[in-house]
Structure 1
């Protein structure tokens, strides 16, 4: 579990900022990270990462952000089996909306269908409770990605 693809779905930049913080933390812990702000399935598959980490906000009625939607649809349609991959999802949302963390939930469901091995239950961060998602996400990442020796 050394190579991590960080797949980002962002609308206003919050998920992108968090992904940058995650990349910095994980790199400091010895992991090789590739940040995908405009994710393409072929690029992620070519990297052959050990871990697929999705960090995504939600837009509209629980929709996947425009920058990550082609990646999601391509993965859903081409169905690359991830049986030897670890998968993790951090979803950003607002519980005052009906489809709280809808994009994160869609990604979590897809990665499960692709037979990825969940690192942990998805982490869903509520903007109504947490103004700075990194205060929740970074400790979660620290707990699940120990420093490499």
Structure 2
């Protein structure tokens, strides 16, 4: 059993739905998973796997609810923190999934370890992003269970 911290950045709620669906997957695989809708660095276990689900807002900005958390991440040492990223965006914008790309960069610069290439979900092609995210996470979990 692994411990997951699900960090959510959301404006209209789509990332929250994705986080809920991913939490169900993790729990069904007997992992623990806590969702953080107003994430604070002090509330997260740095030894857990962080699963960051965020949309991109406006001109490539992060949602308001996750901006303070991202500021807290800068200049942190997260060398023991494994993480996964799920980004939601609209590919008709040139800042497609920029929010998740920014967080990934900050996490990597803090020494955290990306466990799998980020999932970027284009809401134009995937109107129910939870389905795409569940398939991605389930595949990753199954692959890791086989190699464990």
Deviation at 1:118, TM superposition (A): 1.0
The gaps in structure 1 that reach 5 residues or longer are: none
Q: What whole-Å deviation, never above 9, does each CA across 1:12-61 have from its counterpart, x for those lacking one?
A: 000001101111110111111110011011111xx344201100011011
- Structure 1 runs (4+) deviating above 6 angstroms are none
Aligned to 2:5, the other structure's residue is in SS state strand
Which residues of 2 match residues 63-74 of structure 1 at below 5 A?
Answer: 63-74=61-72
Q: Measure, in 2, the Cα distance between the counterparts of 1:53 and 1:114.
A: 16
Q: Which residue of 1 aligns with 2:122?
A: 126
What is the TM-score normalised by the length of structure 2?
A: 0.92
For residues 111 and 122 of structure 2, the distance between their equivalents in structure 1, rounded to whole angstroms, comes to 27
Number of the residue aligned with 1:83: 79
- 1: CA distance, partners of 2:79 / 2:141: 20
Check the 8 A contact 2:46/2:80 in 1, yes or no. Answer: no
Q: Distance in 2 between matches of 1:108 and 1:134?
A: 20
